[in-house]
Amino acid sequence: MALDFDLARLPNPHLGHEHEEWRNQLRRFFDSHVCPYAAQWDEAGRIPDDLWPLAGDMGILGLGYPEEYGGVSEGVDIWHKNILNEELARVGVGGVSATLMVHNIALPPVVNFARASIRERIVPPVLAGQKRIALGITEPGAGSDVAQITTGAKRQGDHYIVNGSKTYITGAMNANWITTAVRTGGEGAGGISTLLIPTSANGVTRTPLDKKQGWWCSDTATVYFDNVKVPVANLIGAENQGFKVIMANFNDERMAMSAAMEAFARVCLEEAVEWARERQTFGQRLADHQVIRHKIAEMKRMINATQSYVQVMSNNVQNGNAHAGDIAMLKVQCSQTMEFCAREAMQIMGGMGYMRGSRVERIYREVRVNAIGGGSEEIMRDLAARQYGL
Ligand X SMILES: Cc1cc2nc3c(=O)[nH]c(=O)nc-3n(C[C@H](O)[C@H](O)[C@H](O)COP(=O)(O)OP(=O)(O)OC[C@H]3O[C@@H](n4cnc5c(N)ncnc54)[C@H](O)[C@@H]3O)c2cc1C
Binding site for ligand X (CB under 6 A): 134-138, 143-144, 168-170, 212, 215, 220, 369, 372-373, 376, 378-379, 382
End-to-end Cα distance, the chain: 44
- List the one residue out of 111, 113, 144, 243 whose CA is nearest residue 184: 243
Kindly tell me which of 162 and 296 has the beta carbon lying closer to ligand X. Answer: 162
Question: Rounded to whole angstroms, how far apart are CA atoms 23 and 83?
Answer: 6
Kindly tell me which of 129 and 374 has the beta carbon lying closer to ligand X. Answer: 374
Q: Min. distance of Cβ 138 from ligand X in angstroms?
A: 3
Kindly tell me which of 194 and 311 has the beta carbon lying closer to ligand X. Answer: 194
Q: Min. distance of Cβ 175 from ligand X in angstroms?
A: 10
Q: Min. distance of Cβ 292 from ligand X in angstroms?
A: 32
Kindly tell me which of 94 and 129 has the beta carbon lying closer to ligand X. Answer: 94
Q: Min. distance of Cβ 315 from ligand X in angstroms?
A: 27
Q: Min. distance of Cβ 166 from ligand X in angstroms?
A: 6
Kindly tell me which of 220 and 234 has the beta carbon lying closer to ligand X. Answer: 220
Residue nearest to ligand X (CB): 143
Kindly tell me which of 58 and 153 has the beta carbon lying closer to ligand X. Answer: 153
Q: Min. distance of Cβ 167 from ligand X in angstroms?
A: 7
Kindly tell me which of 220 and 314 has the beta carbon lying closer to ligand X. Answer: 220
Q: Min. distance of Cβ 52 from ligand X in angstroms?
A: 17
Kindly tell me which of 58 and 91 has the beta carbon lying closer to ligand X. Answer: 91
Q: Min. distance of Cβ 381 from ligand X in angstroms?
A: 8
Q: Min. distance of Cβ 62 from ligand X in angstroms?
A: 20
Which H, E and C letters describe the chain, residue by residue? CCCCCCCCCCCCCCCCHHHHHHHHHHHHHHHHHCHHHHHHHHHHCCCCCCHHHHHHHCCCCCECCCHHHCCECCCCCHHHHHHHHHHHHHCCCHHHHHHHCCHHHHCHHHHHHCCHHHHHHHHHHHHCCCCCEEEECCECCECCCHHHCCCEEEEECCEEEEEEEEEEEECHHHCCEEEEEEECCCCCHHHEEEEEEECCCCCEEEEECCCCCCCCCCCEEEEEEEEEEEEHHHEECCCCCHHHHHHHHHHHHHHHHHHHHHHHHHHHHHHHHHHHHHCEECCEEHHHCHHHHHHHHHHHHHHHHHHHHHHHHHHHHHCCCCCHHHHHHHHHHHHHHHHHHHHHHHHHHHHHHHCCCCHHHHHHHCHHHHHHCCCCHHHHHHHHHHHCCC
Which residue type, as a one-letter code, is found at position 82? N
Which residues sit opposite 169 in a β-bridge? Answer: 221
Kindly tell me which of 59 and 136 has the beta carbon lying closer to ligand X. Answer: 136
